[in-house]
Chains A and B, each alone.
Chain A
Amino acid sequence: MVSLTVNGERQVFDAEPTIAQVLERLEASLASAPGAQPSIRALQGAVAVEVNRVLVPRRTHSVERLRDGDEVEVLTFVGGG
């Protein structure tokens, strides 16, 4: 079992997941969240991921595997000036 912290919450996987797999699970949980609308996509492809405070390039999201205890930050855009 592999335990990660994703945006401050514990997530458990059977085996070491890729970042893409962590994002897929996140997207699925957001899509089934109360108030979710099918027309509104959760991630819009535009997220950045830091693992243990290091930015991971998008092109390696489907390759890089996460290890037990890794801290994952998933970042996106909000309104601002």
Chain B
Amino acid sequence: MAAQDPGARSGGQAGPGQAGPGEDVLVLGKHRFRSRLILGTGKYRSTEEMQACHEASGAEMVTVAVRRLDKDPAKNLLNFIDRRRYALLPNTAGCYNAEDAVRFAHIAREMLETDLVKLEVIGDERTLLPDPVDTLVAAERLVRDGFTVLCYASDDPILCRRIEGTGVTSVMPAGSPIGSGQGVLNPFNIRIILETLKVPIIVDAGVGTASDVALAMELGIDGVLLNTAVALAKEPVRMARAMRLAVEAGREAYLAGRIPKKLHASASSPLEGMPPWVQRPS
């Protein structure tokens, strides 16, 4: 892949006067995060393990889903998340049309008094791919209703541009289907999205392991949202730490600016100054 121009995008990065020198901050509306990793709260084997993963990941924001109150208080998630430490990002998971997703967002705002919402409108249960048409409709509505919308989308550059046009705060293209662990299947689309859009781009869904995250961050995206890759790893806490390191490594590599890929080798040691008896291949 061609060399990236480091710092070419300012989306999600604090501009001059917003942050101290050398500070690399993800800005989402009025919210600021030092960590570029957003972690889910689903599928963990226990709430204790979830808490340990949040800690190890360094994440400052976690996603939550809206459901009917469970009779078992142990299932009431907010008992297990320190809200002074983690911002909550309510999602609209489980909604298959714009109307339901908008309703979920309003319910979440009433509960948390937060303007943040991860909008997702799913097309069908088997693929869990986003419904692009209803996603666009719901994004327009939620922006109008004053939400800070982080919008899950397929990795189609034109769709992402249309979603940006609704005034969302971030567009979050899927790397690959939710929970699939296939990584970023089309890095070329992500690069086009990065070139075209100005809002922060967060890859949401599909990453399987640390290298997927590092590769995605090296493209120049502003953050990664993941859940299953950590929650269902053999050792989730260790994977959470790996994801933190991968986000940091990928971000640093992007900012550092990688060398272009070349067909031929380029010696790291000088070719001059060799003793005359050294024989070179003819």
| Residues of chain A whose beta carbon lies under 8 Å from any beta carbon of chain B | 7, 26, 30-31, 33, 35-37, 40-44, 46-48, 50, 55, 57-58, 73-81
Contact = CB atoms under 8 A, between A and B. Distances in A.
Interface residues of B, number: 41
Given A78-B70, A78-B76, 13 more contacts: A46-B112, A47-B111, A55-B103, A55-B106, A55-B107, A75-B66, A76-B66, A77-B65, A77-B67, A77-B88, A77-B90, A81-B41, A81-B227
B71 A30 contact: yes
Interface stretch (B4-12, B42-50, B136-144, B189-197): B42-50
Task: Find the residue from B41, B76, B79, B179 having the highest chain A CB count within 10 A.
Answer: B76
Point out which of B67, B71, B74, B112 has the most chain A C-beta atoms below 10 A from its C-beta: B71
A79 B110 contact: no
A48 B65 contact: no
Interface in B206-233: 225-228
B73 A36 contact: yes
B77 interface: yes
Contacts of B162: none
Contacts of B91: 80-81
Contacts, number: 117
Contacts of A48: 66, 107-108, 110-111
Contacts of A81: 40-43, 63, 65, 91, 93, 178-179, 205, 225-228
A57 B76 CA distance: 21
B280 interface: no
Given A40-B79, A46-B78, A77 B42 contact: no
Q: Which A-B residue pairs are the 6 nearest by beta carbons?
A: A80-B65, A81-B227, A81-B40, A79-B41, A79-B42, A77-B64
20 contacts: A36-B73, A37-B73, A40-B74, A40-B79, A42-B73, A48-B66, A57-B110, A74-B68, A75-B111, A76-B76, A77-B66, A77-B90, A78-B76, A79-B77, A80-B41, A80-B42, A80-B64, A81-B41, A81-B65, A81-B227
Interface of B: 40-44, 50, 63-79, 88, 90-91, 93, 103, 106-108, 110-112, 178-179, 205, 225-228
Contacts of A46: 78, 111-112
B19 to A, nearest CB: 29
A79 B69 contact: no
Contact of A75 (B44, B63, B67, B72): B67
Contact of B72 (A26, A35, A57): A35
B106 A76 contact: no
A78 B74 contact: no
Contacts of B79: 40-41, 44
Nearest to B43: A79
B72 A33 contact: yes
Contacts of A80: 40-42, 63-65, 91, 93, 227
A50 B93 CA distance: 18
